Chain A
Amino acid sequence: MSFTARVVDGLVTGALPGPPGSGVAPTYLSPTGAEIVFLLLGVVAVVSALLVVATSQLVHAALWLVVTLGSVAGMYLVLTVEFVAWVQVLIYVGAVVALLLFGMMLTRAPIGRSPDLDNAHRWPALVAALATAGALVALVVDAFRSAYVDLDVAGRTPGSAAATGATIFRSWVLPFEVLSVLLLAALVGAIVVSRSTSDGA
């Protein structure tokens, strides 16, 4: 059997080689504290994401997006990936949402209810989204039913700033530098695009 076939087979049956020392997975009926916190944060994230796409007030959508992104950061913390969690808070909650609010302000978004935020084909969109959700949830539940990760291992800090920094600046230096060039290009592009009409072109 080829490697790809084995990996696909492992993905389908959930029999990927587990990490060392993971042991047998506990039952789903006795959730740990971390799992309960994670599920609560997940409920908050999903409900506020639903409100982002369902609310009829533009500014409220941005504020619900803050709740979603914040609870995703909380989920990162529960998964012991603390550096990524704080980056998420700084960049997403801090910068991206502020940019979105600026965009709304500059495009004279209506304050208050606007009934025409959804377009004509929202029911086909709902069907497509439900189909996506059904397919993805069925797939991941089937694939990862027996996968279990023990988060509470002494001496293991996979998400600390030290560990993340070491891997980024050892193994991922080239993508990191390429990304900085890409950020510069995006910055210059945004400036050029937004001032092209003012100088008469």
Chain B
Amino acid sequence: MLILELYIFVLAGFVGFMVITRVPPLLHTPLMSATNAISGISLVGSLVAAGSHRSNVATILGFIAVVCATTNIVGGFLITDRMLKMFKRDEPKAKSPSETK
């Protein structure tokens, strides 16, 4: 099982490396907020800790973890979207005054 998990880790790391080397510096800030939102997936671990009711300590710690992870997911995806919405190409009509001159 552990070996299988190591395979997953190494392969996912490779995929990440390959994909992320091709992200242009233009989008490095959205990249950071995006990976941040995605790593909010630790929510799935927190949910089990908060809901399985094994001990009060675990439930409370799990609850705080759920809050933190949800904050990151919601805030992270929203801010990434907000940033990406801002990136616009030069529109043809904005270019025309300088071309006609």
Bind each other: no
